[in-house]
Structure 1
């Protein structure tokens, strides 16, 4: 079956992080439906690949984000069904990380008999590992969408780094470009104070999205969250570093990890 819809991630830094497989997909596409906030990215894609259709206009002030997602899904799937040549949905970052409409687009398109090819990109999380100097294999990791965390009242482990995504949208599922009031962050601050001391330092992190930018990190004490209201953007992630460092609990397992005798017990010779 011939691919009729590509769903691809552009990476975070404009068009500088396009992978080879994403470039091939865009080259093959007759039109690119674009979810990206920057005009310069739309212009670069248009110059390089042809027709670009921007989808940001589907968001309406004070209206549910879900309604915009539904319109985006309809436009992209209808285009894929009707097109004689492949079309593409291109998103910032990774197409299935924090981009809500993509899963619905894939399901709807496949249900309509459209062959879909999803190709990954560098996500904001990948960029933040670098910006923060964090190796999740050494520390472990907790990651939540901020409203989902509060809805489910999930417990946080204060010995493991935590990422709270889309912190600038906390408290509402409605789209807005209006500035934040300090009260927007009170519930979240109080919730975090169940697990962390009020003077614990947290950070607003925003990965670079254009070639001339650098990743931005702004740190503050948890108790001062409301005072940061003007600085918080919907794309910000809240990074909460560990409040304590827990050593190994199972000393016997630690010892076995460095034991040749234990290695011999859990492996075999290939000839056996």
Structure 2
């Protein structure tokens, strides 16, 4: 057995009071404590138990939830691999709706490290106490809410039924984990249950995209249907633009692109819409328009390397490489400056 170990514990639901003695001892005795808890008071208290306590990366944006989970697992395993006895602390019961805890333990064991989970107090335990409910009397069933609706889980109406995560019903689940066949099956099932479910129709359309080029027409069919039902569905409009782009139907793509941006300039999530439109215009052979669009971006950020690249490519395609020499050099100079700046920053961090 390798040196280094992992113990996963839960803080329970109630501040401090729900922490078990075994969990507290594991935190105090660990070489390194990593935590993901629900409030800053608990975080500070954990740091009084063990000075090594440090928060795990945690992004509350649902669109990046699975990426955050992977970052958590990587962070935990990085400490274990250094030969440290690591205690990972999570809110509630560490094994209930906590993907990174189970994944970290599985991965640690696969790599030959000792790994265990200590039970904690979950929301379900509190529910039994608060409502005076004894699950042993008539039984109790527990399902995740979206799974319950989509998969038509069978349940006994004479016993208690608990549905978890009502607030996140409709979360993309399999889609975000890139398990597209399973995501498609779920969206399809949701539409069978509710044929006018616009959200599921649009997301099934986008899932078609990831099943391959042969499915692009079906993707358009679903997105058309969703947009027809909800004309201001900006997310669906933006994705339809993307499907048209992949099909090299650039004029149709530009129409949807302009429509989406008119509804929400931030729909592209971190990408600049002027550059993206410039690239589309370039693909469509509208080179002067593409250059003008990217020049607008340069008025905001003079050394934007992507905008400069788009201008250089548009000029080269339009008038030839020789006449685009100055634009190409300008783009190259900006890119080299950016790379140099990145290297200097890296050296500074290493010195620290």
TM-score normalised by length of structure 2: 0.47
Q: Which residue of 2 aligns with 1:114?
A: 113
1:123 and 2:122 are equivalent in the alignment: yes
Deviations 1:46-102 (A, max 9, x none): 0122222212x43253524222111111111111111x4311111111111121211
Q: By percentage of residues, which structure has more strand?
A: 1
Aligned equivalent of 1:254: none
Q: Could you tell me how far 1:138 is from its partner in structure 2?
A: 0.8
Residue of structure 2 equivalent to 1:51: 52
CA 1:18–1:60: 2 relative to 1, 3 Å: closer
- Partner residue, 2:147: 148
> Displacement of 1:104 after TM fit?
0.6
CA contact (8 A) 1:96 1:103 kept: yes
Change (3 A) 1:148 1:26: same
**Match of 2:95, SS?**
coil
Partner of 2:70: 70
Q: In structure 1, the residue corresponding to 2:54 is in which secondary structure?
A: strand
Q: Residues 18-97 of structure 1: matches in 2 within 5 Å?
A: 18-55=19-56, 57-59=57-59, 61=61, 63-82=63-82, 84-97=83-96
1:145-198 deviation per Cα after TM superposition (whole angstroms, max 9, x unaligned): 1122123211232221110011111012379xxxxxxxxxxx8xx99xxxxxxx
Cα deviation digits, residues 249-272 of structure 1 (max 9, x gap): xxxxxxxxxxxxxxxxxxxxxxxx
CA contact (8 A) 1:30 1:50 kept: no
- Report what 1:262 is aligned to: none
The alignment yields a C-alpha RMSD, in angstroms, of 2.2
- Say which one has the larger Rg: 2
Match of residue 160 from structure 2:
161
Distance (Å, rounded) in 1 between the aligned partners of 2:172 and 2:36: 18
Deviations 1:214-248 (A, max 9, x none): xxxxxxxxxxxxxxxxxxxxxxxxxxxxxxxxxxx
In 1, the alpha carbon distance for the partners of 2:14 and 2:137 equals 27
8 Å contact kept, 2:62–2:171: no
Structure with more relative contact order (C-alpha pairs < 8 Å, separation 6 or more) = 1
> Is the Cα–Cα contact under 8 Å of residues 36 and 58 in structure 2 kept in the other structure?
no
1:212 paired residue number:
none
- Runs ≥4 in structure 1, deviation > 4 angstroms? none
Q: d(CA) in 1 for partners of 2:20 and 2:60?
A: 32
Aligned equivalents of 2:99, 2:28: Cα separation in 1: 25
Gaps of 5+ in 1: 176-186, 192-272
Contact residue 9 and residue 93 of structure 1 kept, 8 A: yes
CA shift for structure 1 position 31: 1.9
Contact persistence 2:4–2:81 (CA under 8 A): no
Equivalent pair of 1:45/1:52 in contact (CA under 8 Å): yes
- Mark the runs of 5 or more structure 2 residues left unpaired by the alignment: 177-189, 195-352
Q: How does 1:1-272 map to 2 (within 5 A)?
A: 4-55=5-56, 57-59=57-59, 61=61, 63-82=63-82, 84-173=83-172
Judged with a 3 Å threshold, the aligned counterparts in structure 2 of structure 1 residues 64 and 148 are, in CA distance, closer, same or farther, namely: farther
Partner of 1:178: none
